[in-house]
Amino acid sequence: MADPINILIIEDEAVLSMDLSDLLEEEGYFVIGTANNGPKALSLHQQNRLDLALCDIHIKGGWDGIETAERLLAERPIPIIFLTALTDKVTLDRAMRLYPSAYLIKPVTVPGLRAAIELALRNFTQSVTTPAEPLPSLTSLPALKDEARIEPILRIDDAVFIKHKYQFVKISLDDIDYIEADGSYTRLVTAQHRYALRLTISHVLDRLSFPRLIRIHRSYAVNLNRVSTFNEREVCLPALSLPLGRIYKPDFLRHFDIR
């Protein structure tokens, strides 16, 4: 299994920081930590393998979010997504000199944040070698429409067609054993094949819309028809065991008639 996408949240509003953390975990990402000031953010960057940072421009301490981002990038380049409630031209000009992956206006919407992260991760390698014109904002970008164009999942009755090796392959929904988040991809696993989709696990679940496919972990969802045994920490299929996450356990158990 590939390592999860590690994200750092730099935000001095505690409630917003917690909300962002919960949202990212639900979307299948791993929040490596939160920081309400620049030095703490830099320390977390130095001590961990970060894939992306969400950075509020106005934070506590001697460094604002823009200077904090500059120091993070000097240590090691990563995609930066700026968050702010202010949109004045001076602030925008300072931020854009760093070529951020996105600039999101608070309050952040789920589709906007989701699209910004996926595009940031997808474009990062190219943007490091050849900086592109920075994006002013992704809050209005229709994420699902864009991703459907890139990696379609087409539902028909009790099956889906997914794009695989330049063609569409039909898969019965009940043939899916489980799905697994793998970085910016999600793997759809059947008894015979494994298919990689350039979508988050949340997007795949939304598009499959299969009630028997239940999220059990930030990185896994399982077909209930394939479950052979389970305990407090694991859900077991005939050939393997998958972790049962604490926050997903109540939803998993509610599908059983517990008397």
In CATH, the architecture of 153-254 is Beta Barrel (2.40)
Q: What is the pLDDT along the chain (259 residues), one digit of tens a residue?
A: 456 789 999 999 888 888 888 888 888 888 999 999 999 999 999 998 888 999 999 898 899 999 999 999 888 888 999 998 766 778 788 888 888 888 888 888 888 888 888 888 877 754 444 444 444 443 333 333 333 344 468 888 889 888 776 678 899 999 999 999 876 678 899 988 888 887 788 888 888 989 999 999 989 999 999 999 999 999 999 989 999 998 899 989 988 876 5
Task: Tell which CATH classification among 1.10.3720.10, 3.40.50.2300, 3.40.50.1700, 3.30.160.160 matches the domain 6-126.
Answer: 3.40.50.2300
Q: Tell me the CA end-to-end span of the chain in Å, nearest whole number.
A: 36
CA-based torsion, 210, 215, 219, 225: positive or negative: negative
Domain ranges for the chain: 6-126, 153-254
Please tell me the total number of residues recorded for the chain in this structure: 259
What confidence tens digit (pLDDT) does each residue in 56-72 have? Answer: 998 988 999 999 999 99
Cα–Cα dist 87/94, whole Å: 11
101 residue type, one letter: S
Which two structure tokens, joined as six digits, stand for 5? 């996408």
| φ/ψ of residue 70, rounded to 5 | -60, -40
Cα–Cα dist 187/181, whole Å: 6
The three-state (H, E, C) secondary structure of 121-189, written as one string: HHHHHHHHHCCCCCCCCCCCCCHHHHHHHHCCEEEECCEEEEEECCEEEEEEHHHEEEEEEECCEEEEE
What confidence tens digit (pLDDT) does each residue in 231-241 have? Answer: 999 999 998 99
244 residue type, one letter: L
Cα–Cα dist 130/215, whole Å: 38
Which two structure tokens, joined as six digits, stand for 83? 């968050």
Burial class (CB in 10 A: 0-12, 13-18, 19+), 112: buried
Nearest to 95 by CA among 106, 103, 104, 105: 103
Return the pLDDT at 103.
Answer: 85
Which two structure tokens, joined as six digits, stand for 155? 């539902």
The answer to whether 6-126 and 153-254 have equal CATH topology is no
